[in-house]
Structure 1
Amino acid sequence: MNASDTTSWQQVRSTFKQIWGYEDFRPPQGEIVRSLLSKQDSLIVMPTGGGKSICFQLPALLQTGLTLVVSPLVALMENQVQELKERKLPAALLHSEVPSYQRKQTLQALERQQLRLLYLSPETLFSAPVWERLCQPQLKINGLILDEAHCLVQWGETFRPAYRRLGAVRPALLKFKPAGTKIAIASFTATADPTAQATIRQVLQLQQPQIFLINPYRNNLNLKVQIVWTPRGRKQQLLQFIQARLKQTGLVYVRTRKDSEELAEWLKQQNYATAAYHAGLSPEQRRKIESSWLTGEIPFVICTCAFGMGINKPNVRWIAHFHTPFLLSEYVQEIGRAGRDGKPADALTLISEPTGFLNPEDKERQNFFAEKLRLQYQKAEQIARKIPRQGELTAVTKQFNDGAVALSLLHSAGQLQWQDPFNYIRHSSGKSRSFDELNKLQQQIQSQMSEYLKTRDCRWQFLLRAFGFTKEATNFNCGHCDNCR
C-alpha cells in the first residue's frame, strides 16, 4: 500500500476507526503509520499513554505478511495480544511460559501464514523452532518492531544479552527471502535520551530512520520527592500518602522481590488489601494479581519494575516510589503508569536523608548494586580473555556460565561483531572501549537519578533536559512539582 495515495489513506483511517473506534490519529500517530507502511526504518520516542502500540499494530494488520514484535515482559505481551484477540484480530504470542499445546498451535499458524502480528521475547525469537520457521522463504515478513526499546539499553549488556543480537536479525532473514524483500525495523519507547537513541540506532542497524521525538512532559503528573529520616519514617510517610488517597488506584514501586513481599505483608497487617508482585511469581499468580488490580479488587500493588509496562489502566491516580529506581528512564516509565486518562495524578518518591548517617538504607542499597555490577563486568572481562576470536554463541555459553554476557559486553565495547544472531567475530577498532570504561559509563548514567532527586529546579525541566529536549527545557517551570510549588 502506498500510504501517500489518498484512497489508501482513507482505507487506513476507516480501518483505524473500525478497529479502535477513533475518528482520527493523535499527532504524530498518522505520520508513524505512514512511515511503517512505506517500509521505512523508524525510531519513535513518545510519552507513556501516547498510543504507541496502535502505530505498529495498524500497519501490521493492513499488510499481508507478518510483523514481529519483540517485547520484554510476558505481562506486556499478554496484555496487548489479549486486546487484539478480543477484537478478533490475527495476533499471537510466544514466550517461555506458553503451554506446549498453545505453542504448537501458534507455530502451526505461523507456518500457514495466518498471523499478522507475532509477539515474542528476544530469547524466544532466537530459539531454534521459531528461528527455523521465520527463515522459510515463503514466509513473508514485513517488519520487526522493538517495543519498549529502552530495555535494549538498560538490560542488553548484562541482564538480557539477547538484545545485543537484534541488529543481526534483518540481514540474516533476508538471506532466505526472495530478492527485493524489504523488512522495516522500528523501535518504540517513552524514554531514550540522545545517548540511548544512538545505542538503539547502532545496535539495530537502522538505515536512515525516520525519527519522531515527543518530549516526556505530562502536565497532569505532579512530581514530589520527600526525605525520610528513619526506616520506620519511610513506612509512615507511605502510609500517610496512601491514607490520603484511600479509594484511588495506585502502585508502590520497590527494588527487590524480598522488599515487595515484606512491605506487602506489613501493609496487610495495617488492614490494607494489597499484594506483592515480582518476576519470581508463577504466571498464574501474576495474572491473578494483575486482574485483581485492573478490576479494582485491590486498589494498589507493591511491585518491582516487572509490573506496569504496557498494562493499560487509565485511572491510576498515584505512584509511590518506596525505593528510588537506579535509572532516570526507569523512573519516567514508572511514573508514566499514572494519569493516562489525562486527569491529575501524583508521583511521590521517598529518599533517605542525604548524609546517610541516620538512615543509610539508600546508600547501602546503591553501593550493593554498584558492587554487584562491577563484579559482573570483572567476571565477564576474565571470560572475554578466554573466548576464541571467532565462534558460535552456543559453544561459548556451554563452556562459560556468563559467556553470553561477556559476548554482549564485547559487542557493546565495539570489540565484537555478530555475523548473524548465532555467530560472532572479534575485532578491534579505534572506537573500542574497555570493560572498565563501560562500567564507569553505567555509573555516570546512574548518577543522573541522584542529581534529579537533589535538584532544586523544576523537576520536569530537569527531565526535559536529561532526555535531550534542551530547547523545551529553557526557562521551563511546570508550576505543579514540589520545587515549583
Structure 2
Amino acid sequence: MTVSPPAAKALEAKFQQIWGYSRFRPPQGEIVQALLAGQDLLVVMPTGGGKSICFQLPALLQTGVTLVVSPLVALMENQVQELCDRSLPAALLHSELSRTDRRQTLQALSQNRLRLLYLSPETLLSPAVWQQLCQPQVKINGLVLDEAHCLTQWGDSFRPAYRRLGAVRPALLKAKPAGTKIAIAAFTATADPHTQQTLLQVLQLQQPRVIRLNPYRANLHLRMQTVWTPRGRRQALLKFLQNHPNQPGLVYARTRRDTENLAQVLSRQGYSVQAYHAGLAPPPRRQIESDWLSGRCQFVVCTSAFGMGINKPDCRWVVHFQLPSLLAEYVQEVGRSGRDGAPAQALSLVSEPTGLLDPADQQRWRFFAQKAQQQARQAQQLARQLPRQGTLATVRQQHPQAEQALALLHRSGQLSWLDPFTYRLQPAIATKSQPTPSATAVMQKYLRSRQCRWKSLLEQFGFRREAEEMRCGKCDRCTAKP
C-alpha cells in the first residue's frame, strides 16, 4: 500500500512531534507505511539505523497493542524508558518485575490502554501472560521480533521458546473476533541468506515485504591481529588501550570467567573497567550499563549479553579479545562502535593458524561444535521415546532438557507446533540440498581471506552486487603493504 502525500506528511509531522526529526531516513518511511497497512515484514538494517522507531511509530498511531519480543531485559528497559519519558503508552513484562508492577501492566493490557508491550519469548508464552493475550477484548495489532537473529543464534540452544513463535499468530487469531489481522515484523542488523530463510519459515511470514540494507559502515575500520601466545594476546590488548587513552569502548570475551579475570588484570593496570555477563544480578548489570553510558566507566569487558540495543554514539572502539564462532555475532558486536558516524576501530585478536602455541580459539570453537552435536544426538534419542503428539508441559515433566530437544527437532523438520504448547512429530524429509557450512568454517574463511574485510562480509551476507566494487581502503587488508 502506498500512502498518499497528505497522509505521508501527517506521518512525518507525528514523527517530528514525538522524536523531533524533520523527516524519515530511508527506508524508515517505507517500513512505517507497510506496518500501518498490516503487511508482514523482514527488515535487515545496520546497527544504529533507527530500526526501533520504524515499529514504534505505527504502533502509537493505532488502537490496540503491538507486542515487541525482545531478547534482553536491558534492551527492553532502555526502549521503554525512552518512550515513557515522552509520556507514551508503553510497558514491559519480565521476570524481574515486582508483583505490583506486573499486575498493573496486565491490567493496562486487558483494558487496551497500552500501544507497545515489550516482553521476552519466554514471558510471552508464560501461562498468565498468554491467558491475558488470548482474551477476545484485547486488541493486538502486530507482533514485532526485535533483534530477530537471536531466533537462529539462540533458538536451538538456551532460548528454545523462540522456535515456538511461529505458532503464536494462528493461536491468537483463533481467540479473537472474526476478521482480526495481526502483522508480524522481524527486525535485525545481521542476517545472511540462510538466517533470512529461517526467519521466514519459522515465523510463517505471509507474503512479506523484505527490506535489506547492507551492513557496510564507511567509518568503521576492521582489523585482525594474530597473537602467538596467551601472554601475547594480553599484551596486544594493552598496547591498543595505550594507543586509545580515555576513549570509550568495549572488550568482548566469550565466557563469564574470562570477562572477570581480564577486567581484574586491566583494573590493576589502572584502567576504569568493569566486567559484565548474564550471571550478574539485575541491579549490578543496570549499574554497569549506566556507568558506561555516562562515562564513569571507560570500557566494559563483556560477553555477548552486553551492548545489544544500548545506544552509546561515541563508543570509539571494539576489541574482540576472543572472537565469536558466528560471523553475524561478530558484525553485531563491531557495529556498536562509531554509531555517531565518526571514525571508529574494530580490532580482533586471533590465535596463530596452527593452534600449537595458542590453541584457545580452536579449542573454544571445537567445544561449541561438539556440544551442538551432543545435543542433536540427545534430541534424536528423545524423539524415539515421545508420543506422536503431545504437550510441552507433559514432556518437560519427564525430560529436563525436553524444550531444547523439541527445538532441535523443529529445526530438522521432524516436528511442528500445532499451537505454542502442542507439538506433533513428523518424519524427517530427505533433501538433496547442499550442506550448509558450519559457523566455524564461515568464520575461518573470513579470517583467512586476503581481500577487503568489508568485501568479504558483503559477500557472506548476500550483497554480492555491492561487494563487486567494494574496497574500503581502511581495513587491514586494504592497507597492507604488497
* Secondary structure of the structure 1 residue equivalent to 2:54: helix
How far did residue 240 of structure 1 move?
Answer: 0.7
The residue number in structure 1 matching 2:381 is 382
Q: Is this contact kept in 1: 2:375–2:405, CA < 8 A?
A: no
Paired residue type of 1:10: K
Equivalence for 2:55: 56
The question of whether the paired residues in 1 share the 8 Å contact of 2:110 and 2:137 is answered with: no
Greater mean deviation of Cα atoms: 279-288 or 446-455: 446-455
Matches of residues 185-224 of structure 1 in structure 2 within 5 Å?
185-224=184-223
Alpha-carbon distance in structure 2 between the residues aligned to 1:227 and 1:349: 9
**SS in structure 2 of the partner of residue 185 of structure 1:** strand
**TM-score, normalising length: structure 2:** 0.97
- What is the Cα deviation at residue 101 of structure 1? 1.6
Is this contact kept in 2: 1:415–1:432, CA < 8 A? no
Q: In the alignment, does 2:468 pair up with 1:461?
A: no
Tell me the alpha carbon deviations over residues 277-299 of structure 1, each in whole angstroms, 9 at most, x when there is no partner: 00000000000000000000011
**Does the 8 Å contact 2:147/2:187 carry over to 1?**
yes
Q: CA deviation at 1:445?
A: 2.6
Map 1:164-203 onto structure 2 (within 5 A): 164-203=163-202
Q: How does 1:293-372 map to 2 (within 5 A)?
A: 293-372=292-371
- Find 1:449's aligned residue among 434, 443, 446: 443
SS at match of 2:273: coil
Q: Deviations over 1:164-216 (max 9, x none)?
A: 11010111000111111110000000111111100000000000001101000
Q: CA deviation at 1:54?
A: 0.3
What's the CA shift for 1:431?
4.8
Structure 2 residues not aligned, in runs of 5+:
none
Once residues 109 and 243 of structure 1 are traced to their aligned partners in structure 2, the CA distance between those partners, rounded to angstroms, is 52
Paired residue for 2:151? 152
Mapping for residues 53-452 of structure 1, pairs under 5 Å: 53-428=52-427, 430-431=429-430, 441=436, 444-452=438-446
Q: How far apart, CA to CA, are the structure 2 residues paired with 1:329 and 1:6? A: 38
Given the superposition, is the C-alpha separation of residues 445 and 364 from structure 1 closer, same or farther in structure 2, using an over 3 Å criterion? closer
The separation in 1 between residues aligned to 2:472 and 2:237, in whole angstroms, is 25
Larger displacement relative to structure 2 (407-416 or 45-54): 407-416
SS in 2 for 1:188: strand
C-alpha separation in 1, matches of 2:440 and 2:394: 34
Q: Distance in 2 between matches of 1:23 and 1:107?
A: 35
- Count of aligned pairs: 479
8 Å contact 2:319–2:346 — kept in the other structure? yes
Whole-Å separation in 1 of the counterparts to 2:107 and 2:430:
45
Q: Is the CA contact (8 Å cut-off) linking 1:3 and 1:37 kept in structure 2?
A: no
Q: Which amino acid aligns with 1:476?
A: M
Q: Cα deviations across residues 10-55 of structure 1 (Å, max 9, x unaligned)?
A: 2211110011100100100000000000000000000000000000
Aligned equivalents of 1:241 and 1:105: distance in 2?
Answer: 49
Letter in 2 for 1:268: S
TM-score (norm 1): 0.97
| 2:477 paired residue number | 483
**What SS does structure 2 have at the residue aligned with 1:326?**
coil
1:367 Cα deviation (Å)?
1.7
Q: Secondary structure at the match of 2:175?
A: coil
Q: CA deviation at 1:7?
A: 3.1
Which runs of 5 or more residues in structure 1 are unaligned?
none
Alpha-carbon separation, structure 1, partners of 2:352 and 2:440: 19
Percent identical among aligned pairs is: 62
Shift of 1:475: 3.3
Measure, in 1, the Cα distance between the counterparts of 2:261 and 2:378: 32
Maintained 8 Å contact 1:414/1:432? no
Alpha-carbon distance in 2 for matches of 1:432, 1:92:
44
CA 452–296 in structure 1, closer or farther in 2 if over 3 Å, else same: same
CA RMSD of aligned residues (A): 1.5
